[in-house]
C-alpha cells in the first residue's frame, strides 16, 4: 500500500523538477546551432548567483519568483459542471471550456495533456496601461519563505512581494505574469506543435526575449505583422495599424521537416488538362525565376518554331540544362497554349495541393478588429466585448499549423473566437479538430453593455459566444454532424488543504472524515482522475461493489465514499474473478473516508489475491 499526497509544496524550489532533462526542459540553454550553453545551464540551476560568470540574458525583478511559480503545484481543485455536461448534446463532446485562472488550469492539465496539443493561440493582456492589466497573485509568502524557495536574498524577496501585493503593471510584473504560463503551456505542445501569441508594440520586444528563453531562440518561426485596422488615426503622430503575432514551435528540427503542412490552401482555379496528360490537370508556370546564375543561363530551343530563348533580363532558368532536358522528355515543358511561345513548366494539381501556398509575414487578408467586433454584434445584437479577434485570423493560424483532427488551445479565451473559428472550419471541411478554452471568470463592468445584457463575467460571454456560434453554424450547415458542443469545468477552492504532511500510512487511528458533501467528493474525483493522466473528456464509470459505488476510469478504480467494508471487498474480488472486462490495475482510496483498519484489510487482500488475469494490482491511499 502506498500513501500519496497530491500537490505537496514542501521540497519544491525554482529548479528542482528541471535538472534531470536538458533540452526538453531547458531550451534556453541551447543556442540556434544546438550547442549546449554550459554557463547558462549552471546559472539556471545554481543555488546562488555567481556574478563572476555573467553572460547575456534577460532579467527582471520577479524572475526568480516566476521560476518558482512555474513549478509550484496548483492551489485549487477542478470541478465539473455536471448539469451542463449531462445534457445529451454535451455528453460525448470532446471540446472544453474551463473557467479559472489559466496558470492553475494549465498546471491541472499537465499530466493528462502533456505533449498532446498541436496549436496554442493566445491573446494575453498587452499591458498598455489602459487595458486593465495589473499583477494579481493569491499566493502568500513571507520574505523569508520566498527567499528560501526561490534561492534569493530577503531584500529581493521583499521587493518582489511589494509589487505582487500592490497590483503592479510594470514590465517586470507583466513578465512575471507571463513566464510561468508560457513555460507550463510549452509542456502541453506536441513535438511538432506551434504557439501563436498576439501582442502590440508595448510588450513585443519583451515577449520576444521571453519566448527565446522559454521555447529556445532556435525555435523561433516568425514575427507576423497583422494589419489589425484599416482606418487612420489623424490625431496620432503615426497611425498604428498593426499587431504582432509571435510564432514559436516546440522543436524547429521537427517543425521544418513537416513544414509542408505550414502552408495555406492554394487557389486551384485555372487547372486544366488540354493535352489529356495521364497525370491529370495542370497549370503552366513560368520556367524562369529571379536572379542571375551562369549555370542556369543557357539557350532553350522551341522544338515547334526552332526559335531560341534566353532568360529575361535579371532572371535565369529554374533548372540547369541537364535537368531541363529531362523535364522536356517527361512532357513537363510546354511552349504556350499554341506551342509558339517561350518555355513554361507544368505544375500538376496534385502537386499544388500537396505543397500548398507559402504564407507571408504580413497578414493583410484575414480581416481586422472591426470584423471581429461585427461578428460579436451579429451574434449578440450588441457590443458585449471589446477588441475581439476576427475568426478569420484564428482560422489562418489553425489552417497553417493543424491537421483536421488536432487539438487547439486558447488559455486567454476572451469572447471565444478560437472556439468559434475551430467549429466553423470543421463544419466547412468535415474536420474533427478539438478546442480547449480557458477563461478567468473576471467580472464585467456594471456600466458595460455586457453586464446590462446579463453577462456578469467574461467567461459568461465566452460560453454564450460558443453556444450562439454553434447555433449559427448548425443553421448554415444543416448536414454537418460533427461536434458543436462542449463540456464545462471550473477551478474551485481546495477544501483539502493538508494540516500534517508527516502522516504515516500505517498509523492505526487514521482520521475519519464524513463531512465532505457528494459535490466535494466528485470534485476530488475529477481532480484526481485528471492528475492520473485521463483527459477531462474520458468517461468515468460508476461500478457497484455489493451496494458500494466505486468509480472506474481507464484502469484505475477510485474508492471515494465512506462505508467501504469487508462485504464490499468480497464483491470487488468476485467481480475481478467473474467479469472478463473488469481489470483495473490501480485502486485509489480517499483515505479520509476509509478507516485505517479497512485500508490494511484492503491492502492485504490486494497483495495476496490469487490473480487469475495476470493483473499487477497496486493500492494507493490519498489524503
160-208 pLDDT tens trace: 888 887 778 889 999 999 999 999 999 999 999 999 999 999 999 999 9
**Cβ within 8 Å of residue 339, ≥6 positions away:** 302, 304, 305
Q: What mean pLDDT comes out for the span 323-336?
A: 94
Encode pLDDT of 382-412 as tens digits.
Answer: 999 998 999 999 999 999 999 999 999 999 9
Selection from 55-59, 138-142, 231-235, 430-434 with the highest mean pLDDT: 430-434
Cβ–Cβ under 8 Å, residues 313 and 335: no
Encode pLDDT of 418-436 as tens digits.
Answer: 999 999 999 999 999 999 9
Say what the pLDDT of residue 163 is.
81
Say what the pLDDT of residue 132 is.
83
Q: How confident is the model at residue 340 (pLDDT cuts 50, 70, 90)?
A: confident
Which pairing describes strands 300-301 and 434-439: parallel, antiparallel, or unpaired?
unpaired
Q: What's the rounded Cα separation, in Å, for the pair 18 and 14?
A: 9
Say what the pLDDT of residue 415 is.
97
Compare 5 and 538 and report the one with higher pLDDT. Answer: 538
Q: Which residue has the cell 477588441?
A: 387
**Whether residue 266 has pLDDT greater than 60:** yes
Q: Is the dihedral of CA 151, 136, 250, 188 positive or negative?
A: positive
Name the least confident of 30-39, 226-235, 263-272, 581-590.
Answer: 30-39
Encode pLDDT of 305-315 as tens digits.
Answer: 999 999 999 99
**Whether residue 470 has pLDDT greater than 50:** yes
Q: What's the rounded Cα separation, in Å, for the pair 379 and 470?
A: 10
Which pairing describes strands 96-99 and 362-363: parallel, antiparallel, or unpaired?
unpaired
Encode pLDDT of 554-573 as tens digits.
Answer: 999 999 999 999 999 999 99
Q: DSSP strand E in 494-607: where?
A: 541-545, 548-553, 556-559, 586-590
Selection from 255-259, 361-365, 412-416 with the highest mean pLDDT: 412-416
Q: At residue 108, what are phi and psi to the nearest 5 degrees?
A: -65, -35
Closest CA to 74 of 467, 485, 390, 494: 494
**Cβ within 8 Å of residue 69, ≥6 positions away:** 103, 139, 176, 179, 180
**Cβ within 8 Å of residue 494, ≥6 positions away:** 7, 75, 76, 77
Closest CA to 394 of 435, 455, 427, 352: 435
| Cα distance from N-terminal residue to C-terminal residue, the chain | 13
Q: How confident is the model at residue 136 (pLDDT cuts 50, 70, 90)?
A: confident
Say what the pLDDT of residue 354 is.
66
Say what the pLDDT of residue 111 is.
96
Closest CA to 415 of 455, 453, 454, 448: 455
Say what the pLDDT of residue 398 is.
96
**Cβ within 8 Å of residue 191, ≥6 positions away:** 115, 250, 251, 254
**Cβ within 8 Å of residue 214, ≥6 positions away:** 27, 28, 179, 182, 183, 186
Q: What mean pLDDT comes out for the span 612-623?
A: 86
Q: At residue 546, what are phi and psi to the nearest 5 degrees?
A: 60, 40
Q: What mean pLDDT comes out for the span 462-480?
A: 97
**Whether residue 15 has pLDDT greater than 70:** no
What's the whole-model pTM score? 0.81
Say what the pLDDT of residue 508 is.
37
Q: Is the dihedral of CA 421, 422, 426, 427 positive or negative?
A: negative
Q: What's the rounded Cα separation, in Å, for the pair 440 and 107?
A: 15
Q: At residue 345, what are phi and psi to the nearest 5 degrees?
A: -110, 130
Say what the pLDDT of residue 17 is.
55
What is the helix, strand, coil percentage profile of the chain, to 5? 35, 20, 45
Say what the pLDDT of residue 149 is.
87
Say what the pLDDT of residue 53 is.
56
Closest CA to 122 of 246, 225, 229, 301: 246
Q: How confident is the model at residue 9 (pLDDT cuts 50, 70, 90)?
A: low
Say what the pLDDT of residue 54 is.
59
Q: What's the rounded Cα separation, in Å, for the pair 143 and 190?
A: 38
Q: What mean pLDDT comes out for the span 254-260?
A: 74
Helix (H, G, I), strand (E, B) or coil at 417: helix
Q: Where are the alpha helices (DSSP H) in 229-334?
A: 252-257, 321-329
**Whether residue 514 has pLDDT greater than 70:** no
Compare 500 and 142 and report the one with higher pLDDT. Answer: 142
**Whether residue 298 has pLDDT greater than 60:** yes
Say what the pLDDT of residue 20 is.
43
**Whether residue 36 has pLDDT greater than 80:** no
Q: What's the rounded Cα separation, in Å, for the pair 596 and 507?
A: 7
**Whether residue 58 has pLDDT greater than 60:** yes
**% of the chain residues with pLDDT over 90:** 67
Q: What's the rounded Cα separation, in Å, for the pair 47 and 44?
A: 9
Cell of 88: 445529451
**Whether residue 484 has pLDDT greater than 80:** yes
Say what the pLDDT of residue 373 is.
95
Q: How confident is the model at residue 125 (pLDDT cuts 50, 70, 90)?
A: very high
Q: What mean pLDDT comes out for the span 583-611?
A: 92
**Whether residue 245 has pLDDT greater than 50:** yes
Amino acid at each position: 500500500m502506498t500513501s500519496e499526497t497530491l500537490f505537496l509544496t514542501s521540497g519544491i524550489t525554482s529548479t528542482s523538477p528541471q535538472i534531470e532533462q536538458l533540452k526538453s526542459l531547458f531550451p534556453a540553454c541551447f543556442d540556434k546551432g544546438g550547442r549546449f550553453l554550459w554557463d547558462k545551464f549552471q546559472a539556471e540551476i545554481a543555488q546562488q548567483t555567481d556574478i563572476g560568470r555573467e553572460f547575456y540574458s534577460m532579467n527582471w525583478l520577479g524572475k526568480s519568483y516566476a521560476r518558482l511559480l512555474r513549478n509550484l503545484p496548483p492551489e485549487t481543485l477542478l470541478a465539473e459542471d455536471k448539469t451542463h455536461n449531462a445534457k445529451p448534446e454535451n455528453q460525448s463532446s470532446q471540446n472544453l471550456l474551463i473557467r479559472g485562472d489559466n496558470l492553475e488550469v494549465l498546471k491541472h492539465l499537465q499530466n493528462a495533456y502533456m505533449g498532446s496539443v498541436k496549436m496554442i493561440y493566445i491573446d494575453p493582456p498587452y499591458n498598455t496601461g489602459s487595458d486593465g492589466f495589473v499583477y494579481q497573485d493569491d499566493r502568500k509568502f513571507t520574505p523569508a519563505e520566498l527567499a528560501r524557495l526561490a534561492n534569493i536574498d530577503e531584500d529581493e524577496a521583499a521587493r518582489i512581494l511589494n509589487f505582487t501585493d500592490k497590483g503592479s503593471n510594470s514590465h517586470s510584473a507583466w513578465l512575471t505574469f507571463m513566464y510561468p504560463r508560457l513555460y507550463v503551456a510549452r509542456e502541453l505542445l506536441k513535438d511538432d506543435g506551434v504557439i501563436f501569441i498576439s501582442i502590440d508594440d508595448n510588450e513585443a520586444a519583451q515577449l520576444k526575449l521571453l519566448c527565446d528563453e522559454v521555447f529556445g531562440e532556435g525555435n523561433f518561426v516568425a514575427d507576423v505583422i497583422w494589419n489589425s485596422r484599416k482606418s487612420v488615426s489623424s490625431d496620432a503622430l503615426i497611425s498604428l495599424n498593426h499587431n504582432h503575432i509571435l510564432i514559436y514551435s516546440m522543436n524547429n528540427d521537427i517543425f521544418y521537416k513537416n513544414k509542408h503542412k505550414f502552408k495555406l490552401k492554394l487557389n486551384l482555379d485555372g487547372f486544366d488538362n488540354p493535352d489529356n496528360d495521364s497525370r491529370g490537370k495542370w497549370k503552366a508556370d513560368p520556367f524562369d525565376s529571379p536572379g542571375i546564375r551562369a549555370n542556369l543561363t543557357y539557350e532553350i530551343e522551341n522544338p515547334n518554331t526552332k526559335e531560341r530563348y534566353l532568360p529575361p533580363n535579371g532572371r535565369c532558368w529554374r533548372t540547369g540544362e541537364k535537368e531541363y532536358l529531362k523535364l522536356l522528355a517527361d512532357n513537363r515543358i510546354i511552349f504556350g497554349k499554341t506551342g509558339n511561345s517561350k518555355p513554361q513548366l507544368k505544375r500538376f494539381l496534385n502537386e499544388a495541393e500537396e505543397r500548398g501556398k507559402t504564407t507571408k509575414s504580413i497578414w493583410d487578408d484575414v480581416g481586422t478588429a472591426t470584423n471581429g467586433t461585427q461578428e460579436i454584434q451579429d451574434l449578440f445584437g450588441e457590443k458585449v466585448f471589446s477588441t475581439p479577434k476576427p475568426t478569420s485570423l484564428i482560422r489562418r493560424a489553425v489552417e497553417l499549423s493543424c491537421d483536421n483532427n488536432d487539438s487547439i488551445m486558447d488559455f486567454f479565451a476572451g469572447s471565444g473566437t478560437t472556439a468559434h473559428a475551430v467549429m466553423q472550419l470543421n463544419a466547412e471541411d468535415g474536420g474533427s479538430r478539438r478546442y480547449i478554452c480557458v477563461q478567468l471568470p473576471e467580472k464585467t463592468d456594471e456600466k458595460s453593455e455586457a453586464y446590462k445584457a446579463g453577462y456578469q463575467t467574461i467567461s459568461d460571454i465566452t460560453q454564450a459566444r460558443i453556444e450562439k456560434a454553434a447555433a449559427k453554424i448548425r443553421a448554415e450547415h444543416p448536414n454537418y454532424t460533427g461536434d458543436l458542443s462542449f463540456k464545462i469545468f471550473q477551478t474551485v477552492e481546495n477544501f483539502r488543504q493538508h494540516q500534517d504532511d508527516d502522516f504515516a500510512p500505517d498509523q492505526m487511528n487514521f482520521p475519519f472524515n464524513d463531512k465532505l458533501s457528494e459535490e466535494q467528493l466528485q470534485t476530488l474525483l475529477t481532480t484526481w482522475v485528471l492528475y492520473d493522466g485521463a483527459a477531462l473528456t474520458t468517461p468515468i464509470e460508476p461500478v457497484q461493489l455489493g451496494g458500494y459505488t466505486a468509480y472506474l476510469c481507464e484502469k484505475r478504480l477510485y474508492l471515494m465514499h465512506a462505508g467501504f467494508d469487508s462485504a464490499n471487498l468480497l464483491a470487488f474480488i468476485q467481480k475481478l474473478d467473474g467479469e472478463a472486462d473488469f481489470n483495473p490495475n490501480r485502486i485509489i482510496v480517499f483515505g479520509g473516508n476509509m478507516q485505517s483498519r479497512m485500508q490494511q484489510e484492503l491492502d492485504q487482500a490486494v497483495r495476496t489475491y490469487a490473480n487469475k488475469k495476470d493483473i499487477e494490482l497496486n493500492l494507493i491511499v490519498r489524503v
